[in-house]
Structure 1
Amino acid sequence: MKILIVEDDQLLQQQLVQQLQQTGFDCQAAGDGMEGYFLASEYPFDMAVVDLGLPKIDGIELIRRLRTDGCSFPVLILTARDGWKSRVEGLDAGADDYMEKPFHIEELAARCRALLRRTTGNNNILQDGPLALDLTSQQVSLGGIPMELTAFEYKILEYMMRRSGEVISKNVLTDYLYDQDFERDSNVIEVLIGRLRKKLAAHDNYAPITTLRGRGYQFQKQV
């Protein structure tokens, strides 16, 4: 799971990145609201941790802009202990949860996991018609029959199912795989998508992945 951390306190930012990565998250950080907005707009994230007292644009304005743009990933805000008004503003702007400073990193990690579970459902199963993807075991079945997928085919399928209905550009998919130490070659995306389509079509020509010329790919629910 990839988390965007937007925090202007450099020491705290580094601590958050290091300690959350130790608990299994993939983290990228921004030091101000504008940088956070750019990263969230251009790159794929599963959630964000946002400090409210940010330079350039504050955390509340950042969240408002992201929600206005249609960004749906969960956002956890960091607030001062006596900033109850800011907490209310942050939640009203579209944040999903908050934590008061100072906090324990173990609790923050647990809150992040809870928010991510909430976005994928309590049973951790992504389902579309005959296709089922188990996020816990990373097993995929089609019509009740287990599918044989490579690691990268699985990563693309999971990413697209999580964002069903969204148009995902080839560059975004390339960036996502590149962060996983994958060779940065957008042509490989076409090959992986082609393989996925062929494997999915084996079940009654099931075809949830469409190409939008000049824009990218879209996972369209078949139910």
Structure 2
Amino acid sequence: MKLLLVEDDAAMAQALQLALERRGFEVAHVADGGEALHRLRHDPPDAALLDLTLPGMDGLLVLHKVQSEGITVPILVLTARGSVGDRVVGLNAGAEDYLAKPFDLDELEARIRVLLRRHAKKDTVLACGPLVMEMESGAFYLRGTPLEVTPREQAFLKALIARPGHAVAKEKLFRVVFPMESDIQFEAIEVVAYRLRKKLAGAEVSLITLRGLGYLLRDDTKPVA
């Protein structure tokens, strides 16, 4: 299990890395937020331990960028900022757990393992509100009931549910839905979208058209910011 430890205190980082490696984890260490974000983007670990007070890029900014870019690495914040307000801010910024310094190593290990188990379960499905896709089979379920879709509709939905709330370009969707089909008109993608929109009607998940950008799936159970 690969962990990324983001901590600018060299002595603490060395001690924590050694302790975690003795407990069976593979630990990589970086000391600033910019390098942490680079690792999370290009060499994602199974989980990250993130300090909030960092040189270069504050830990909260790292969390905001991770959330906005759809990076799925679970992050546990380790910080001296231990007030309830700080905890709420960290969790709202995208952290999945929060542990104030000083902490007990047994508790830290337990929280890491819970985080990893929870994330492993998440990785078996993709979801947007009541719409769920099993990653292994590619089957879609709406409110727990199998959703009947054609192969083209399945390809369309699969591209969107990979990043709910983020637009996927019409051109990219066309290539995914109609691969190697040069005789198909570009407007055919709109027909697929229309049919899917009808199948999702009233189900608290919407297929949204963004003019000039493409399409996205929106979870209507979440309040609009």
- Using structure 1 for the length normalisation, give the TM-score: 0.54
User: In the alignment, is the contact (CA less than 8 A) between 2:6 and 2:31 conserved in 1?
Assistant: yes
User: In the alignment, is the contact (CA less than 8 A) between 1:79 and 1:87 conserved in 2?
Assistant: no
What pairs with 1:1-223 in structure 2 (closer than 5 Å)?
1-80=1-80, 82-121=82-121, 128-129=136-137
Deviations 1:179-213 (A, max 9, x none): xxxxxxxxxxxxxxxxxxxxxxxxxxxxxxxxxxx
Deviations 1:135-186 (A, max 9, x none): xxxxxxxxxxxxxxxxxxxxxxxxxxxxxx69xxxxxxxxxxxxxxxxxxxx
Q: Report the AA paired with residue 62 of structure 1.
A: V
Report deviation, 1:83.
3.3
Secondary structure of 2:100's match? strand
Partner of 1:203 in structure 2?
Answer: none
Secondary structure of 2:21's match? helix
Structure (1 or 2) with the larger CA radius of gyration = 2
Deviations 1:99-157 (A, max 9, x none): 111011121111000000001129x9x9824xxxxxxxxxxxxxxxxxxxxxxxxxxxx
Report deviation, 1:81.
5.6
RMSD between aligned residues: 2.5
- Using structure 2 for the length normalisation, give the TM-score: 0.53
Deviations 1:29-79 (A, max 9, x none): 110111111111111311100011111111111111111111112110012
Partner of 2:142 in structure 1?
Answer: none
Secondary structure of 1:121's match? helix
User: In the alignment, is the contact (CA less than 8 A) between 2:5 and 2:27 conserved in 1?
Assistant: yes
Q: Which runs of 4+ in 1 moved over 4 A?
A: none
Q: Report the AA paired with residue 136 of structure 2.
A: D
User: In the alignment, is the contact (CA less than 8 A) between 1:77 and 1:95 conserved in 2?
Assistant: yes
User: In the alignment, is the contact (CA less than 8 A) between 2:3 and 2:28 conserved in 1?
Assistant: yes
> 1:19, 1:119 → 2: CA distance?
23
User: In the alignment, is the contact (CA less than 8 A) between 1:79 and 1:86 conserved in 2?
Assistant: no
Secondary structure of 2:55's match? coil
Secondary structure of 2:76's match? strand
Give the % identical residues: 40
